Structure 1
Amino acid sequence: MKGILLVNLGSPKSPTAKDVKPYLDEFLMDKRVIDMPYILRAFLVKGIILNTRPKKSAEAYQKIWWPEGSPLIVISQRQHKKVQEKVDIPVALAMRYGEPSIKTGIQELKNKGVKDILMIPLYPQFAMATTETIDVLAAEIIKKHFPDINLTSFPAFYKRKEYTEALAASIKGHLEGFDYDHILFSYHGVPERHIRKSDVTKSHCKMDGQCCSTASKAHEFCYRHQCLETTRQVTELLGIPQEKHSSSFQSRLGPDKWLQPPTDATVNGLAEKGIKKLAVVTPAFVADCLETLEEIGMEAHHEFLQRGGEEFRTIPCLNDDEMWIDAMVTWINEWKSK
């Protein structure tokens, strides 16, 4: 029997420092998130970050926490429920960090007689710290605990028409009645070295303004290219002129050089240049979370208004939008019929 495993990032159990700390420990100690040697990573995470950040992060989570729980978990559960209602094979939900774990999700499917699993990492663009870490951990779990299970991972879907059309339709709907001056596509940031490490050609990715638009095998695993390509495809579908949109990268950590330009500086700069009505969409996520609800919806919103902006609209992630659910159902049915 075939089955589906949907995998998202994860969340603390509660918006308290007590629960945020072990979540951050698991997340930041992942060598594909902070790709330092173990001793340096442990010193940074356990010796510095975990002594200061849990309280601050807990306060941020408290601002966006829903009565039902973590927004990311609640939305992922809704996605799971809707997908399951539209397909006739078992569907399980898992998180890379926290619960329910990937191992738990695979066990749930196995208990239902599933031998062949399609795992869908819920990230449109490939990145070391998202898709790759899910793929690697899942493969390790399969090898150690479920050697009789066949696991296939669904590749990055940033250019699949079902996704881009769903994203474009969602943006169009949420922009209705909003005569925006500019729309910013804000993607989660990663260190530039992650891009170079993911370059299968070992020579193409130079982040010089040209490599992402020059055809290459490297694009299959290039997060920056895939983000910019998402923007290009969606703005073409919506007919948004070049001068009315841009892309940026948010959520930096540490002193390393991260993808440019940063979202916070971009938002501030747009306001200072006279942009009065700004819309921001976050296409690296398919479920609203701390990065979209607090970092964009609250912090960036506040900073934009403080610098002279007048209206700021945060466009929600796809969440449980029906076109997005139908996109996943289409991919599942295509795989099931093979």
Structure 2
Amino acid sequence: MSAESTPEPGIPGENDRGKGPRHRKRRGRRKGLLVMAWTAAGIVVLGGTGAGYLYFKLNGNIKSVDIDQALGTDRPTKVDNGSENILVLGSDTRSGSNKKLGGGTDDGSARSDTAMVIHVYEGHKRASVVSIPRDTLIDRPACTDTDGHEHDAASGVMFNSAYTTGGAACAVKTVESITGIRMDHYLEVDFAGFEKLIDELGGVEVTTTKAIDDSDSHLRLKAGKHTLNGEQALGLVRTRHGVGDGSDLGRIQLQQAFIKALVDQVKHVGLFTSPKKLYALADTATKAVTTDSDLGSVDSLMSFAGGLKGISASRMHMVTMPVRYDPANPNRVIVLKSKADQVWTALKNDRTIPKSATTGNATGEAAGVVASS
């Protein structure tokens, strides 16, 4: 396909599901998704109101990390074709308000359970989103974190160990090692911020085609249409035992469907007609997000978000990195290298991901549980 081809909407592979046993693991420390950049676009209005105090307050909310300095020059070359690649991570800091939402002890440690590479095509009218399963076994490269500490390489470890080991910089280094693609930007959001953001939006409407009952994520939904509040939305993107085969792959499918609903919701909440609502949303979003240093200001986020807000849910092609279940451990997955290479090569060349790369792979058997409303 050419770069101008329209990607097929929806979640691929629902008739090509990989088979794997139901995974019964300890309560997952799930991460909600991301503060989608379209939400941050609301800050544009505040920048023109002359409300200097509000502007600087929002600017002070944003946390940033200097990925470029930590990783140096040993990285894939930037591709100058008008596209952008953004690594979006969900983090669970295990402290403060996140302790209650994630469970466990208040030990101050950090984990990443959701990772997505967002490729924005030239012209910024459409995007491909590739989810990387947290349970994928990978060879983690040596890396230096943003505090200057060096971390040794490791073989056959879970993908999410990169963030646990060295934070944002090591996560970016690992993704670039897997994909061969330079990440232009980094965005991270936490449990508490995600839940509050959904509440500020007034909830997100989804339709479930099957009942969901998961005591681990405290989510119980009958089949049908629902407007999820923040707590319910967090439960949906965390649940793994309530639907499908209980795997992380099934949870990813729920997340992808929810993101599409969230993007559509953001476009219809009247951000620009209510200054109070706009400020509350911008305040929540900027407190929840951690960015790379290039996006670490309101001005930078304004510019970045303004370039993405035209991408609708129907123009987002969402897939999962091609994997299969590990024969030695059904709670882990292994990269299908030949198919994954097709995905990364397409994105590197700003082309649509070929359907052949995303069919016949392990999927987790949760496709279609959350449908478009």
Short-chain TM bin? under 0.3
Taking structure 2 as the reference length, the TM-score comes to 0.25
Higher relative strand content: 2
Higher relative helix content: 1
Taking structure 1 as the reference length, the TM-score comes to 0.27
